[in-house]
Structure 1
Amino acid sequence: MDNLIKLLVEYGMFGIMLVAFAEAIFLPLPMEVVSIPIYLLRPENAFFYSVVLIAFSILGSIAGYYLGKAFGKPLLNKFISEGNFNRIKELYSRNSFLAILTSSFTPIPYEAYVLSAGVFNIGFKKFILASIISRAIRHLPQGILITIYGDTILTHLKSYTLVVCLVIFSALILIKKLLKRQP
């Protein structure tokens, strides 16, 4: 795995594009193991690289959505009953926007949300909007901070990890409350 990561980092932006596309479908490799080393090699381009990462992640998400839509239900029907499938679909459909929106901050791989959106036939526009916001929330700050601070940001992040986690958690609670207010 280390050799693959080194190879992807050597490819620079093309490595980011490949991993971002694949991560949204089947790659359980966190983007940061490839993107951050590339950002740090050329900090002045980190913001641009993060935008490219988001764009290719969305393209991969679209592919994953349609793969889930085409092959997911027949595959799931081999493992769960139609009744259980419908119950899961109902639960996921009720909370799909929030689930996809917060997917960047859960231990469940993003590709599980992408494929599930296709399997359970979540509205495509809702899926894309939530995916764009989710990917931007996760990846833009990294590009912005590394563009501004370079590798010194890593020292600061280590010192303030708890504060950053609390801010993210609070923001998620606020988003959830705001979404509940909508008719």
Structure 2
Amino acid sequence: MKFISFLLTTETTGIFSFLDPIINFLEDLGHFGLALYTMIEVLLIIPPIEVIYYPLILLDVDHWYLYLINVIFFNVLASMLGYFVGKKIGYPVLRYFTNDEVLGKAQKLFDKYGILAVAIGAFTPIPYTIVVFLAGITKMDFKKFIIAGFVGRVPRYIVGGYFVMKVGQSETLNRYMLILSVIGMLVFVAYYILQGFYNLYKKKKMSE
């Protein structure tokens, strides 16, 4: 039975019925969708994996650890791939998706902290694509890069996933947490789209 039918059994949550297609779509995506998004999130600057990781946990709290394993495994796999992509074509790709100001800050972080910058970038909301590609661009030691990324990202996924799971065990809280997480996902997506258009606009103005 679709979780959304449970969501809409109260008047309070009925006003969010417009989220039906999105939540049902997430359910249909499942582990395959999470794995695919995890790979893409490392290789391209898109909203963080939590935008679908958390809703999926809320839809199946009893198996939250399987989503955790999924995210960790495919994140490491994508990090390996992203490192070598970064060595080859990293900088032009980053300039296309972001701006020089963001790249400058990330580069300073790398210059100052080295391997520690990877762990910091992996744990914080900084787009991980920038961290991965800069590691490749600067030819950072591959093993150290993978370990640092693992140390930074795994605690983030465990802590966040466990918290969402505990909240999701309460049916009442689960309803509203799911709604908030899906709305948050939409906000993130809208922000990244607008930011992308803004960056393109700035580059166009600078080239004139």
Cα separation, partners in 2 of 1:107 and 1:141, compared to 1, 3 Å: closer
Unaligned runs of 5+ in 2: 1-18, 96-105, 178-208
> 2: CA distance between counterparts of 1:149 and 1:18?
26
Aligned length: 146
Report the secondary structure of 2:64's partner residue.
helix
After TM superposition, the score normalised by the length of structure 2 is: 0.59
1:16-55 → structure 2 map (5 Å cutoff): 16-55=34-73
TM superposition shift of 1:27: 3.8
Do the aligned partners of 1:25 and 1:64 also contact (CA within 8 Å) in 2? yes
In structure 1, the partner of 2:80 is: 62
TM superposition shift of 1:152: 4.2
Cα separation, partners in 2 of 1:154 and 1:102, compared to 1, 3 Å: farther
Q: For each residue in 1:83-127, what CA deviation from the matched residue of structure 2 results, as whole angstroms up to 9, or x when unmatched? A: xxxxx9797255222111111444431110001000110000110
Letter in 1 for 2:79: S
TM superposition shift of 1:147: 3.8
Letter in 2 for 1:119: I
Letter in 2 for 1:115: F
> 2: CA distance between counterparts of 1:121 and 1:4?
40
> 1: CA distance between counterparts of 2:22 and 2:79?
22
Letter in 2 for 1:68: G
> 2: CA distance between counterparts of 1:92 and 1:142?
26
Do the aligned partners of 1:47 and 1:147 also contact (CA within 8 Å) in 2? no
Unaligned runs of 5+ in 1: 79-87, 159-183
Fraction of identical pairs, as percent: 31
1:119-134 → structure 2 map (5 Å cutoff): 119-134=137-152
In structure 2, the partner of 1:145 is: 163
Cα separation, partners in 2 of 1:89 and 1:143, compared to 1, 3 Å: closer
* Structure possessing the higher radius of gyration over alpha carbons: 2
In structure 1, the partner of 2:90 is: 72
After TM superposition, the score normalised by the length of structure 1 is: 0.66
Do the aligned partners of 1:26 and 1:111 also contact (CA within 8 Å) in 2? yes
